[in-house]
Chains A and B, each alone.
Chain A
Amino acid sequence: MAAYHGAPMAPVVQLSSAVALLGRFPVLAGIDLEVDAGEVVLLQGPNGAGKTSLLRVCAGLVRVVEGNARVLGSDLAADPSIVRRRVGYLGHGSGLYADLSIAENLRFWARSATPGSGHPDAEIAEVAQRLGLGGRLDALSVSRLSEGQRKRAALAVLVLRRPELWLLDEPHAGLDRAGRDLVDELIAGAVVAGATVMMSSHELDRARLVAHRLVTVAGGVVTDDRPARRG
């Protein structure tokens, strides 16, 4: 177990000159970024700027081929698997089995983190209920859900896994107003619980309100980094 050692203020994310390739294309072209514990960082930038890749690098899903990358105290180049089980990643694909019900998906993904123990059915049902997936929906197979409902289910998996670092790729997209409010509430709750959040969003007006910091990404590098105006 790699301890999250060092002073309490040691950055949760520490990238320096990090280069990441997608096939042969440098999606990240030498990125420098530090994120401290408890921060909410909003990534903005045009399509294809590298926001998604940045989040995937932090999740240990994309290898860093040059430069340094430490997340939650462990070196991503050495062993990304330690980082992976401590982060929560919400990507474009829901990561759900289309032919299983919401409840079955939640059970599988929650318990896969802690096989053999934890996550009793009652807890899972409660989370589903709170995210607006309770009752009849719970037993419906994912293939019959709308885009927004799938996103809620994917968020429910994150809630159950209680990650230390939340990596949210356009969490607001595809959700109704209540759903977007739910995302903001979850982010706030995660920060209260001591977690750190990085997200990309095109809903800038909304996302600015929850973010502490605005980081602009373009061409695979950070072009701007400033505190967010908080409402």
Chain B
Amino acid sequence: MAKRLSLFAAAVRLVAGKDLRLEARTRVGLAQVLPFAVLVLVVMAFALDAESELLVRVSPGLFWVTVTFAAILMVGRSAALEIEPGVGDALRLSGVSPSALYLGKTIAVALQLLVLEAVLVVAIAILYRTPLAGWILGAATLLTATAGIAALGTLLAALASSARGRESLIPLLMLPVLAPVLIGATRATDAALGTSDGRQGWPWVALLAVFALSYVTLGALAYRPLMEDS
């Protein structure tokens, strides 16, 4: 049992390492998705007339909407890697269990998203002049919400990867089911930043954790049939 678990963990590490290495080689996330996300923050400021009080008040929501947009691009890219010619066959022949593949890809997406979020937090502090506070609650929110977004996105992007119009299908499938995470993350961030009572943040973090866990379980179970019938 312990041996199988360590084999599984090794496979997860292998897949996550492979995806991160691909990002390191191509820098699509760093050179395209990250600037896009910052641009969204700027455009939001145009749309809201750069009214600084309003920007501070809505910055938790804007932050998570921006993260979601970036995540949609990232998971699409992550799924596209696996549909290069022959790669799908090679994966099925490789012996890597579908759940390990799923978890590895989810972890790689989550790590990239966390880096992106760190930059966006700084960008919001500077551009919107949002005072940062509540670091522990904030970090817990980032971790749990990111896990949920990455877990759900990785599953749905793989699912849509062979469909026509997958670029628009991914957000269409993802956003409704992600609604609770957006709500929870925004509320918890509100609490962390002191726009609302700080103690009200932790129940939301707990909810985010529940969602992350359900999405991960769902993905780990669903990935096998997805790979079989491609």
Contact = CB atoms under 8 A, between A and B. Distances in A.
Q: Do chains A and B touch in the complex (CB under 8 A)?
A: yes
Interface in A67-88: 84-85, 87-88
Interface string B1-24: 000001111110111001001100
A104 interface: yes
**Interface secondary structure of A, over-half rule:** loop
Contacts of A95: 85-87, 89-90
A61 B90 CA distance: 10
Query: Which size class do B's interface residues fall under?
Result: 20 to 34
Nearest to B17: A108
B56 interface: no
A130 interface: no
Given A91-B86, A93-B85, A93-B89, A113 B21 contact: no
A116 B7 contact: yes
Given A84-B92, A84-B93, A111 B87 contact: no
B85 A100 contact: no
A94 interface: yes
Contacts of B85: 92-95
Nearest to B224: A81
A104 B86 CA distance: 17
B25 A99 contact: yes
A61 B89 contact: yes
A85 B89 CA distance: 11
B94 A109 contact: yes
Nearest to B9: A116
Contact of A115 (B21, B89, B91, B96): B96
A100 B96 contact: no
B139 interface: no
Given A91-B86, A92-B86, A93-B84, A108 B14 contact: yes
B96 A112 contact: yes
A165 B84 CA distance: 24
A99 B93 CA distance: 21
B11 A112 contact: yes
A89 B14 contact: no
Given A97-B81, A100-B22, A85 B94 contact: yes
Nearest to B95: A85
Interface string B26-63: 10000000000000000000000000000000000000
Given A85-B93, A92-B85, A93-B87, A112 B22 contact: no
B89 A100 contact: no
A56 B230 CA distance: 14
Contacts of A60: 92-93
Interface string A111-140: 111111100000000000000000000000
A98 B28 CA distance: 14
B25 A141 contact: yes
Given A87-B93, A95-B86, A96-B84, 20 more contacts: A59-B89, A59-B93, A61-B93, A84-B93, A88-B93, A91-B86, A91-B89, A93-B84, A93-B86, A96-B90, A97-B81, A97-B87, A100-B22, A109-B90, A112-B94, A112-B96, A113-B94, A113-B95, A116-B10, A116-B11
Interface of A: 56, 59-61, 84-85, 87-89, 91-100, 104, 108-109, 111-117, 141, 154, 157
Interface of B: 6-11, 13-15, 18, 21-22, 25-26, 81, 84-87, 89-96, 100
26 contacts: A56-B89, A60-B92, A61-B92, A84-B92, A84-B93, A85-B93, A85-B95, A91-B89, A92-B85, A95-B85, A95-B87, A96-B84, A96-B87, A96-B90, A97-B22, A97-B84, A98-B84, A100-B18, A109-B90, A112-B96, A113-B94, A113-B95, A115-B7, A115-B8, A115-B10, A116-B11
